[in-house]
Each structure stands twice: as C-alpha cells, then as structure tokens.
Amino acid sequence: MKSKYVAGLIFAVSVLIIANFIFFAPVSEILANPPSMNVEILPAYSNTLIDQNIYVNVSSGTAVLNISIPGNISNTQYVRVNEISDLPYTINNEYNRTWWSWNIYHSTDVQIMYNATLYTHRTYINPAESGTVSQIPQYLKSKYDHPEYLFNNLEVIDPAYFANNSEIKNITAGQNTVYGTLMAIYNYIVKNFKYDIIYNFPNLPITAVQTWDQKEGDCAELSFLYVSIARALGIPAWLEFGLGYSGSNWGGHAWIGTDIPLKNGTLVNGIIDLTVEVGTGNDYGTGFFINSPYRITEWIDDGNSSHLTQFYTLMISSGQTSINDIFNTVFYRANGNYIIDLNSYTLPYWIVYAIIIAADAIVLAFIIKK
C-alpha cells in the first residue's frame, strides 16, 4: 500500500509539474499583470459636429487671423473641416502644422465647421517591460530635452529648475524605468495640484515654475510643468494641442506626448492628460496613455520655441483689434463601449500567488485521492 501511495504521489507531482510547465506563460503573464478589480468604460468611438465662430473686431488698422486646422491621424481621428463664412483665406503647411489665415480689414465673423470621428484606444505597457532613460534615442533627447520659450522671454518649459529639485527626487525615488518615472510624476501632480485658469498679462500662460509654486494651472500650464519635470529627468516629453470635449461643449485643450522605450529596443508612443484626474483626489491612471474620443489634435510641439510662439499667435494686428472665439457643439454622439482596466485597482501580488498555490494544492489533493 505504501509503495502505491508513493507511486501515486510521484505521479501527482509529475502531472502538476507538467501542467505548470504547460501553463507557465499564462501564469507568468498573470503575475506580471495582476487582474484589475475595477474598470473604466469609455465610448469606443464618437461622432461630433462642431461650429466655431471667431468674431474679429477691428477699430483701427488691419489684422491677420491664424487658425490651426486638425488633420487625420490613423486609428485616432478623422476630421473634415469647412470654412462656411465664404471669406478668402490661405492654407499654410509648415513644421507638421496646418493653419488657415484670413486678412481682416474690418470687423468680421469667421465661421468654421468640424465634422469628426474619434476613436478610443489604450496604449498598454507592461511595467516590467519598460526600458530605462539610457535606452531613449539621442535624437529624441536632442529634439526635446531643453527649455522652451514663448515670445523669446517667457520660459514656459524649464527643465533646469527641476533638475536638482529635492522634492522631485523624492517623488521619483526607486523608479528605475521610464514608465515608472512618468507614472510617479503623473500620480504626484493629479494628487497635489488642481485645475484653474491663471494667465500672465496679456492673456499668456503662466510658466512651469509658477504652476509648481501655485499648485494649480490650466491644461497647458499643468502640461508645461509635467514636461519640464520629465525633461529634467532625461525623458523627452512635449505638448500636444487641440480641442477637448467637456461633456457639453468643445474648447481649446492641451496634453502631453512622450515615448517610452521597452527593454527589447522598441519605442511606444502615448499621451498623458492630467486634466482627466487632477484635483479629483484619484490616481487611477485614466489620463495615462489612454486616448479617449474627447480630443482632437491640431499640432504636436516639435521642441522649437519659435514654432510654439507661432502656434500661440492667434492674431497679428497693426491697430486696435479684439477677438471673440466661441465653439458650439452641434451634436456629440458616443458609440459602443471600450473597457479599460484601472491600474490602481489590480489585485495585490500576494493574493495572485496565494490563488495559484491554492489551485496547485487542490489539484494535487484531488489526484492523490483518486
């Protein structure tokens, strides 16, 4: 009887070893990416029609109005734009940006219609597969790891200020990968800052340093701060500009773009939108590398301060002029569901290990009993 028991035990252990070997890859994936306990449900895609009315009041002199025009981005946005005020305009294409220009000689109302289809997608990265700063290509560092200015002297992106900041070092302590560092910055800002509109005179954004000191800012200002910190740590990041949907209407918006290197040498591009969670007390990661159907991209900053200044130059005038820019959402229709696991709600590793060990024990006991 004893020999049969031993033989049965050996057989059971052998079966378990073979089973674990067969399922090694799936189990490893579960350990690397524990199941989520909560999800975010976004529309799979949306259709929207937007009416933009720009009223230019000319009291004296003349003006040139410049409006950035969004283009198509594969699997993300498809936009058709029409000028319906029937005014003459010129089309400009430079440094990966398209903008239309109107010569304004008297008070004028310019009307533009946007018809867009926007798609949700998440750029998923396994944190364990993220590479380090040393794996970021030099061309990206040369392009972006430096300060940027508006109108020559307003340093909106200031990596040097944060390079030796002790608080930044504490925020990112223990983070050895690009993914971990970027997520640590994201979590800190969304927990400790709030959304507010604060402008320098005349109607210019406050700088990254001012945003850091005041612990608040709008979408562009918070993004300037995030980009400054990332660049200070050797990680190229940049602003992306366009339109954002608030749930009732569209308006100007800005967020962050960056590339994360993987251990295998590939680069993964994604966006970071701090305004999704900033000031809410949450850090679920719903603004991290998730492209929702609530954004339309107009221009991606190329690291050139002159180009950034040109983007911010909505109007050039030779006299006394003013502008009133209003967006009206004709319709916004959400379609389907896109389910996203929330990173902050994954099962703890010890629970996953306990489940696997318990499953092995049950299988072993069952085989022995038989």
Q: How confident is the model at residue 122 (pLDDT cuts 50, 70, 90)?
A: very high
Model pLDDT for residues 324-370, shown as the tens digit of each residue:
999 999 999 999 999 987 755 454 555 556 666 676 666 656 656 65
Q: How confident is the model at residue 6 (pLDDT cuts 50, 70, 90)?
A: low
Q: What is the pLDDT of residue 355?
A: 65
What domains can you pick out in the chain, each with its CATH number? Answer: 2-35+347-369 (no CATH), 41-117 (no CATH), 119-321+336-345 (3.10.620.30)
Burial code (b: 16+ CB inside 10 Å, e: under 16) for 193-224 equals: beeeeeeeeeeebbbbbbbbeeebbbbbbbbb
| Phi, psi angles (nearest 5°) of residue 110 | -100, 130
What is the pLDDT of the chain when averaged over all its residues?
89
Model pLDDT for residues 281-336, shown as the tens digit of each residue:
777 788 999 999 999 999 999 999 999 999 999 999 999 999 999 999 999 999 99
Q: How confident is the model at residue 278 (pLDDT cuts 50, 70, 90)?
A: very high
Model pLDDT for residues 130-185, shown as the tens digit of each residue:
999 999 999 999 999 999 999 999 999 999 999 999 999 999 999 999 999 999 99
Q: What is the pLDDT of residue 96?
A: 95
Q: Indicate the burial class of 328 (C-beta count within 10 angstroms; 0-12, 13-18, 19 or more).
A: exposed
The pLDDT of 72-90, averaged and rounded, is: 97
The pLDDT of 231-257, averaged and rounded, is: 97
In whole angstroms, what is the distance from residue 213 CA to residue 61 CA? Answer: 40
